[in-house]
Amino acid sequence: MRVNPRAPSIGSAMVSAPPKRRPSSGQAPSFRERSLVPVGMATILPHAAKQVRRLEEQLLAHVNGWGYEEIILPTFEYLDVLAPGLEPELIEHCYQFVDRTTGRTLLLRPDATAQIARTVAMGLTGATLPLRLSYRTSVFRYEREHAGRGREIFQVGAELIGLDDVTSDSEVIGLMIECLHTIGLQSFTVSLGHVGFIKGLLMRSGLSAQGQKLAEQAAARKDLPRLEEVLAHERISKKAARTIREAPELYGQDEVLTRGRVLAAGDPALAAPLERLAQVYHLLCAAGHRDSLLLDLGEFRGFDYYDGVVFDVFAEGMGAELGGGGRYDHLIGRFGRPLPSTGFGLDIDRLFRTVEFPEEGSVSGRVDYLVVAPRRATRLLMAVAAQLRRTRSRVVQQTVKGSDAALVSTAVTAGLAQQAAAVVVVGAPGMGHDEVLIFDRFAARIPGRQFGNPSRLSRKMGLADLVASARRSRRQGKERS
């Protein structure tokens, strides 16, 4: 699903490459010329990457619990194949290049929902309906350098295909709400509307085709001055213009539905979307989500394939939506197989900056065992590390150079630097192939602190005993969690 407003990317957790030095040509190179990473792209560093993956895994696990199966989408598509599912403005923002094999134009994935629609229409997912699909992916769109948004957008989403009723609408919205609770986000607002209501108002008003399109774009952006400008240039009645201006500002609870029925004035084209919206809203309230919901008769998502109930989710302190979605009953039909559908997508960048994570250096990121050996004992090092990994422990292996006398102190220093819970030394002088030295009583020490003779912290142990001990520790850890 598309996320429209601009917002900064993951920020300090993502870094661009330093400027590249070039020979002087008498003219200062621009930032774009000096950058080693394309504008709008960034590298996610290890600690942040761990948090991003944790977010994705939590979201996908919860979605899977509702019966949704993950689909992995291709990174690029043929333009002529995907174009029916993309609006012209989005195609202009796609990254395009030529297929060396066929000469046809390819584009980097600009939208996951259009890809899923194409996949389903081709029959690749089979004939059984309904379909419940999930995805985690990146979409790529050109953005101006100072638009405040990256050009690669990380998303997790879900699509429900083959059902057209209020139950499926409420399922998708309820699933999104519970996903947000799962990752620890408790305070947020889901803005809930119906595209058919405001589209119906615009069609009833007598706007020209061009005027209606411009008014829809202004309504999608909540750009009231632009909407006013469009209406002023169109020959429509003052009453119709007043009604259109009022709709984007109608938001709240049940009273919004009451006022909407007044504006509809018995017109079936307006009454039907209102009734559908009311039913979905009341189902979600009955499910315990009332405090998270806000009815908004001006809700009008940016993609033109939305044609029913739509929604966005916002959190305090975030100037753009965290995600959203809606019903797109006609999108799959553009690819040749009409099927009712609805779904949502969440912006991982924005969730990253909204959710609180455990502080860096927590137990979740710690190394369980650092296995150290001199270079002559590399094979033994690999064998011991492999046995420990079979206990599902987190194991790092490292060879060290230098004298045997410095082996132990070097190993302990490395263990402190890597915050290892224990250091295992193999191949030390006077030790057999089935014996190790283990250091496991200094995990809480501060790196760099003087701890005297490290041998006092060690104990000799048989390899079989070490592996058994690792299994016990792993089992006890699971019981505590």
Under the banding of pLDDT at 50, 70 and 90, the label for residue 448 is very low
Q: Which amino acid is at 450?
A: Q
As a whole number, mean pLDDT of residues 223-229 equals 85
Do 123 and 215 share a domain, yes or no? Answer: yes
Please indicate whether residue 112 or residue 213 has the higher confidence score (pLDDT): 112
Under the banding of pLDDT at 50, 70 and 90, the label for residue 233 is confident
Do 294 and 379 share a domain, yes or no? Answer: no
Do 157 and 82 share a domain, yes or no? Answer: yes
Q: Which of 354, 374, 408 is the last residue of a domain?
A: 354
Do 269 and 136 share a domain, yes or no? Answer: yes
| Range name among 347-361, 395-409, 414-428 with the lowest pLDDT average | 347-361
What's the pLDDT tens digit per position in 59-100?
Answer: 999 999 999 999 999 999 999 999 999 988 889 989 999 999
What is the extent of the structural domain holding 250? 11-354
Q: Is residue 3 part of a domain?
A: no
pLDDT > 50? residue 475:
yes
Structural domains in the chain (count): 2
Do 47 and 82 share a domain, yes or no? Answer: yes
Under the banding of pLDDT at 50, 70 and 90, the label for residue 2 is very low
Exposure on the CB side of residue 376, measured as CA atoms within 13 A: 8
As a whole number, mean pLDDT of residues 462-481 equals 85
How far apart, in whole angstroms, are the C-alpha atoms of residue 64 and residue 66? 5
Q: Is residue 1 part of a domain?
A: no
Do 261 and 387 share a domain, yes or no? Answer: no
Do 297 and 382 share a domain, yes or no? Answer: no
What's the pLDDT tens digit per position in 423-434?
Answer: 999 998 888 889
H runs (alpha helix) in 183-220: 195-205, 209-220
Q: What is the pLDDT of residue 329?
A: 95
Do 193 and 143 share a domain, yes or no? Answer: yes
As given in the structure block, the two tokens for residue 16 are: 């661009």
The pair phi, psi for residue 332, each rounded to 5°, is: -65, -30
Q: Which of 354, 381, 397 is the last residue of a domain?
A: 354
Q: Are 347 and 219 in contact (CB under 8 A)?
A: no
Please indicate whether residue 20 or residue 347 has the higher confidence score (pLDDT): 347
Domain harbouring 329, CATH code: 3.30.930.10
Do 447 and 327 share a domain, yes or no? Answer: no
Q: What is the pLDDT of residue 397?
A: 95
Q: What is the CA radius of gyration of the chain?
A: 29
Q: Are 210 and 218 in contact (CB under 8 A)?
A: no
Q: Are 320 and 6 in contact (CB under 8 A)?
A: yes
H runs (alpha helix) in 35-187: 46-64, 79-82, 88-92, 112-121, 166-182
Q: Is residue 191 part of a domain?
A: yes
What's the pLDDT tens digit per position in 382-399?
Answer: 999 999 999 999 999 999
CA-based max dimension of the chain: 98
Q: Which of 354, 382, 412 is the last residue of a domain?
A: 354
